Structure 1
Amino acid sequence: MSFIADKQTLEDLNILGKYKQHSVFNLFNKVKTVGGEKLLSEMFQSPLLNHEAINRRSAIFQYFQSKQITFPFSNEQFSRLENYLGSSSANNYLSTLLTLAQKKLLGAVIRDEEYQHIKTGLQQTIAILNSCKIFISQLEETREQQYPPFYDELLTVKNILNNPKLQWLATWQSTRQTSLQKTAKYDHLLRHTMRAPLTIVMNIFHQLDVYIAVAGLAQEKGFSHAHALPAGSNLFMAVELSHPCIEKAVANPVDFNQESNMIFLTGANMAGKSTFMKAFGINVYLAHMGFPVAAKEMKFSVREGLYSSINVPDNLDMGYSHFYAEVLRVKKVAEAVSKEKSLVIIFDELFKGTNVKDAYDATLAVTAAFSEYRNCLFIISTHIIEAGEVLQKEQDNIQLLYLPTIMNGTIPAYTYQLQPGISSDRHGMMIIENEGILELLK
């Protein structure tokens, strides 16, 4: 069982994508190794469902953030280690010796450089492994707790690098005159005998790369660490929640519980509704990954998934209009909600692809129906403020919030700060007039 976030939701919130501008993945992708980036990508594609697992990962990020440690290797350095240990090797020492002797002879006769490449790779790998050993010992010296987060992994690395078979690492001296026999002995040991445990060391250093990079970003951005609660408590509380990818984003409080599990959001165009909803959705997703969140404080009940409907495209190939695409999206979400899953649902401007009367009736009916599922959390935005007035009288679990517009004469300004109530802003024609569109057409 895994956390549900379908393609539409991931695209709405711009979660994934190394090459997508302003994606959340790119914000956190400050790692230095290829293996670290791969691990980070896997984490982004697999949010967690267990509150204990979420809090453990979060605690690791907090630990490394408190230490403010720098990852000691560049991508180039660590790639040398991975390439060397990942290359093929003979199954026994004699075969290794014979193979290297042949390569050395070829190097002398026809200037074949493969033997020198192996020797250089061996020397670089030994140097990096010694650096790994020093780094782990420094981490141990700085730990304040008896068993800090990530202690078991650090102990695993320490035990592998302290293996008696690797005792020679500390006294090894880099020299161009290393004999063929010693080169073969150490090459066979590292690339065959100790390959599996050294692969574990590399994997743990990939984890260190991710934890140190993400912790550093959290420190730089002033992010906090959300606390996960068991699924049944149906709670979400955030203080000063904002969009993590927007510099100096305006922050807002968000508070849900069993008796108040839906926000009905109104406000003018450009007042910030979509940005607020995306900020909420992104932080919900990050929190389920155990990652730092853009909030001063956050605690939440673990959910089973997240659905959004923000930028629903039409599908001309299938013959779908924009309105029908919206309807199909709402149907898909309704199917998931009706299965009694604990979900987070975000709808931005329901049914904007149809006429005002149908949009009013549909928004009112669908919102009222969804509000009966109190195991889920909903944010639904609309321009149809009349629907909010009816819902306020009929439903007791809906928070009516709006994002205001302040008029400076005929010029609108936006606070991006949530206010209780329903928006009464109707400034569309004023904005059109400010842009001089009607004058152009005279």
Structure 2
Amino acid sequence: MMQVQDLRLKEEVLPFFNFTNNSHSEARLLYLLQHAPDTQTEVAERVAIVHGMLVNWAVLKDFTYHKLDLLEVHAFMETIAGTGYRESRLKSWLRFKVYDAERHQLQAKLVQLILLLNGLQQQYLNRLRSAAFPDKFKAELIAAVRFLEVLHLETMANVVRENSFRTTHVVEFSERLAALAPTKVRRFWEFFFQFEAYWSIARSMQTHGFTFSDFNNEVLEITDFYHPLIKYPVKNSVRFTEEQNVLLLTGANMAGKSTLLKAVSLCVYLARVGFPVPAAACTVPFFSAVVLAINLNDNLRDGYSHFMTELKNLKAVLQVSHNGSKCFAVFDEIFRGTNVDDALEITRTTINGLAGRKGSHFMVSTHMLQLEEQLYPETSESVQKCYIECSLQNGEPTFTYKLQNGWSQLKIGRILFEKEGLPQLLEHELPAQL
């Protein structure tokens, strides 16, 4: 169960990993980002493929091609492959001799195909150390190289470069293409788009300095994490254990609680799908569920209020974690959709219950400062109490965005209210607009 809409994967996260040069590879990259593998072994395989790219980075760092050429060659190969070449070579030769326009059009497409695929083969694929990749990907790479070898691209490329690509070559190479099985053509392109998607992930590590995570079911620890959308981020660190599995976060308005929750959640999710994370180091359990409730709104389609949406999210988390499955869940400003008295009581009950779900980890932010003295005593040892630092300098709030241990009692809502001049506006009638 991956309920991570609040991360806005396509809109906000994908751009940090997307160095692909065509829509097919981008779609494959997005698929990898949005679909979490079922097993830890599958995640490890994704990581190993990217490591293989990095081992071969001397070859791949300048990986490129002309986008339009690739899209046209891809479409052309899917059209011609497997059609069968029903005409004899003599008939084809005579037809191309008579119909110059048809010959020139086909000749141009074949030259484009030969030069593009030969360039990819000679500059990149043939030079890779296939042993650096996991077995399955290695086999697919070898199969892709052998597929290209069948076309004798280097020989044809030399003919093209010598300006000797004549009608006989057009007929001969067209026959070779038409003899390709459609399944092999499709398999080659699927591999190529996947190859570029993984290359793009490796490029993101080189560009942004992201790092891969480790899995450890006993601890969740992320060092110097940040959200990559923040231009000048303040880095923080968190640590959970099985015994202390709830982090209760307080802090003033505008202190950055939601951003911090998103940053931690992003690291946890990226680790789960085998992507590098924006942190210096990251160790997380292998979660079977990641549920985020950060930007909740009324669900108009299903007729749920904000509060009912919160309850349904909590219920889903409890059902998943009830049977011992490991779950990571975030509740930002929990139960803000109901009155303060009810919110205080059910928040206390919720935190007490979550603390008992050992093996799962929870982050809860709240504005209810009175909650500090009302937590159940037996719950307190399982709850980390943290706040995001804020201080008053000459009556003005100053935000450091640093995570600290403890409980914030700072109230700046009234200060901000007065700073905007709202009391004066409320006490006096506004002058008529001219």
Tell me the TM-score range normalised by the shorter chain.
Answer: 0.7 to 0.9
* Cα distance in 1 for residues equivalent to 2:370 and 2:334: 14
Alpha-carbon distance change, 299 to 139 in structure 1, aligned in 2, over 3 angstroms: farther
What is the deviation of 1:77?
A: 2.2
- Work out whether residues 223 and 295 of structure 1, in 8 Å CA contact, stay in contact via their aligned partners in 2: yes
Comparing 81-90 and 215-224, the one that deviates more: 81-90
Deviation readout 1:35-59 (Å, 9 max, x if unpaired): 2112112112211232233233223
* Cα distance in 1 for residues equivalent to 2:147 and 2:92: 27
Alpha-carbon distance change, 134 to 413 in structure 1, aligned in 2, over 3 angstroms: same
Alignment partner of 1:37 out of 26, 36, 48: 26
* Cα distance in 2 for residues equivalent to 1:269 and 1:102: 80
Q: Does 1:222 align with 2:219?
A: no
* Cα distance in 2 for residues equivalent to 1:200 and 1:289: 24
Alpha-carbon distance change, 96 to 320 in structure 1, aligned in 2, over 3 angstroms: farther
Alignment partner of 1:120 out of 99, 103, 108: 108
Deviation readout 1:98-155 (Å, 9 max, x if unpaired): 88569747845xxxx5543322111111111211221236633xx5x95455544433
Alignment partner of 1:244 out of 216, 224, 228: 228
**In structure 1, what residue type is equivalent to 2:7?**
L
**In structure 1, what residue type is equivalent to 2:305?**
S
Alignment partner of 2:72 out of 68, 77, 80: 80
Task: Name the structure 2 match of 1:426.
Answer: 411
Please tell me the root mean square deviation across aligned C-alpha atoms, in Å.
Answer: 2.7
Alpha-carbon distance change, 377 to 175 in structure 1, aligned in 2, over 3 angstroms: same
What is the deviation of 1:167?
A: 6.9
Task: Name the structure 2 match of 1:404.
Answer: 389
Sequence identity (%): 27
Q: Does 1:5 align with 2:2?
A: yes
- Work out whether residues 218 and 359 of structure 2, in 8 Å CA contact, stay in contact via their aligned partners in 1: yes
Alpha-carbon distance change, 378 to 366 in structure 1, aligned in 2, over 3 angstroms: same
**In structure 1, what residue type is equivalent to 2:377?**
K
**Counterpart secondary structure, 1:341:** coil
Deviation readout 1:306-326 (Å, 9 max, x if unpaired): 111112211456553322332
- Work out whether residues 240 and 246 of structure 2, in 8 Å CA contact, stay in contact via their aligned partners in 1: yes
**For structure 2, which runs of at least 5 residues remain unmatched after alignment?**
428-434
- Work out whether residues 96 and 184 of structure 1, in 8 Å CA contact, stay in contact via their aligned partners in 2: no
* Cα distance in 2 for residues equivalent to 1:289 and 1:352: 31
What is the deviation of 1:209?
A: 1.6
What is the deviation of 1:400?
A: 1.0
- Work out whether residues 410 and 434 of structure 1, in 8 Å CA contact, stay in contact via their aligned partners in 2: no
* Cα distance in 2 for residues equivalent to 1:228 and 1:172: 53
**Counterpart secondary structure, 2:62:** coil
Q: Does 1:28 align with 2:22?
A: no
Task: Name the structure 2 match of 1:202.
Answer: 189
Alignment partner of 1:160 out of 132, 147, 150: 147
- Work out whether residues 97 and 180 of structure 1, in 8 Å CA contact, stay in contact via their aligned partners in 2: no
**For structure 1, which runs of at least 5 residues remain unmatched after alignment?**
none
TM-score, normalization: structure 2? Answer: 0.88
Alignment of 1:74-153 (within 5 A): 74-88=66-80, 91-95=83-87, 104=96, 107-108=99-100, 113-136=101-124, 139-140=127-128, 143=129, 147-148=132-133, 151-153=138-140
Task: Name the structure 1 match of 2:36.
Answer: 47
